[in-house]
Amino acid sequence: MANLRDIKRRIRSVSSTKQITHTMEMVSTTKIMRALTRAADAAPYKDAMCAMLANVSSVSTGENVPLLYNPEKISRALLIVVASDRGLAGGFNIQVQRAAEKRLAELAVQGVEATVITAGKKPTEYFSARGYKPILMFEGISADPTLVEANQIASYVMDSFTSHKLDRVEMFYQHARSRVEQTLTHEILLPVTPSNLRLPNDPRAKEALSQVSEVAPANEQAVHDFEFEPSAREVLGFLIPAYVRTVIYHALIDSAAAEHGARRRAMQAATENATEIIETLSRQYNRIRQSSITTELNEIVGGAAALEEM
């Protein structure tokens, strides 16, 4: 009977856990659509900004534009690691953290001094425990980031880059491809190069670009016919800081959408596992209970037979 009590206690415990995981799944399901919509609404602006910057830079040499400075040798680098404040999201955090840690090791082998900026409590704890004290850290904003955090990060990296305290800035985060799929993303933020300004394949982005014909890739010749006032170089001086802020902000909100999706999937799997465990324990409980009842009946029948023989 003690064994039955243990099984009943475990069934109650797993059932309680199942209620928690199911509730978290429903909460993430509710939040993910808003987060995905927010990221999708911001994507066309980011893509149009990339296209505009690519076209303007094509008619300017970029001389005397500090954020276009591309050093021949990299000696100082910065990694911006965007993850989550909380766990219970499967491999969401660990994938980003390990990819950034691997990159830090590669830079160390190359003799590059590297530092990190973390957005999220989990990456802050992860890198602090490994001896990489973040120079900037943001906690409590991973699920709902704002432009304030993006501007703070952008101001620091642009000031450091233009003063030659940094030679390269890279970002690691999870991109929300859909409600159920996330993709680990590694981007080079600075220096701004043509490869950074790759044009998107997203239909939403193409629609946004088509509405601004002067920056559309198919109309590149028309861009060369524009006259810039005061000059293309000075226009770049305004465009690039806006580009940096936009890319960082989009990475934050994209990561937030991916976090909700990853947590929803993890909690759904946990709920399904809890259901399977409860079913297994229930079968085990019924078998033991049936065996116990059969044993008791055999004892009663045996006792009755013994009394008849007396």
pLDDT 10s digits, 85-132 = 888 888 889 999 999 999 999 999 999 899 999 999 999 999 999 888
Q: Please, which contacts does 303-309 make with residues 24 or more away whose CB atoms are closer than 8 Å?
A: none
- Global pTM reads 0.76
- Whether the per-residue pLDDT at 78 is higher than 90: the answer is yes
Place of tokens 């082998």: 109
Q: What CA–CA distance (Å, rounded) separates 170 from 61?
A: 23
291 located within any domain? no
Phi, psi of 30 (to 5 degrees): -70, -40
pLDDT tens by residue, 206-230: 444 444 434 444 444 444 456 666 6
Provide the CATH number for the domain around residue 148. Answer: 3.40.1380.10
Confidence at residue 208, expressed as pLDDT on a 0 to 100 scale: 41
- Whether the per-residue pLDDT at 14 is higher than 90: the answer is no
27 located within any domain? no
Q: What CA–CA distance (Å, rounded) separates 36 from 30?
A: 11
When pLDDT is cut at 50, 70 and 90, the band that residue 60 belongs to is low
Q: Are 211 and 193 in contact (CB under 8 A)?
A: no
CA pseudo-torsion sign 210, 215, 219, 220: negative
17 located within any domain? no
Q: What CA–CA distance (Å, rounded) separates 190 from 170?
A: 7
Q: What CA–CA distance (Å, rounded) separates 96 from 159?
A: 26
Q: Which residues form the domain of 101?
A: 49-263
Confidence at residue 100, expressed as pLDDT on a 0 to 100 scale: 93
Q: Per the structure block, which two tokens stand in for 284? A: 């085990």
Q: What CA–CA distance (Å, rounded) separates 182 from 44?
A: 19
127 located within any domain? yes
> How many domains are there within the chain?
1
Decide which of 66 and 289 is more confident.
289
Instruction: Give the mean pLDDT of 18-28.
Output: 84
Q: What CA–CA distance (Å, rounded) separates 92 from 257?
A: 11
233 located within any domain? yes
- The three-state secondary structure class of 187 is strand
161 located within any domain? yes
Name which of 192, 173, 194, 170 is nearest 183 in CA terms. 173
* 98 to 7, 112, 117, 143, 184: CA distances (angstroms): 39, 18, 15, 21, 11
Give the CA angle between residues 96, 100, 101 to the nearest 5°.
115
Distance of CA 267 to the CA centre of its chain: 17
270 located within any domain? no
The maximal CA–CA distance of the chain, rounded, in angstroms, is 119
Confidence at residue 122, expressed as pLDDT on a 0 to 100 scale: 92
57 located within any domain? yes
pLDDT tens by residue, 100-110: 999 999 999 99
Distance of CA 171 to the CA centre of its chain: 11
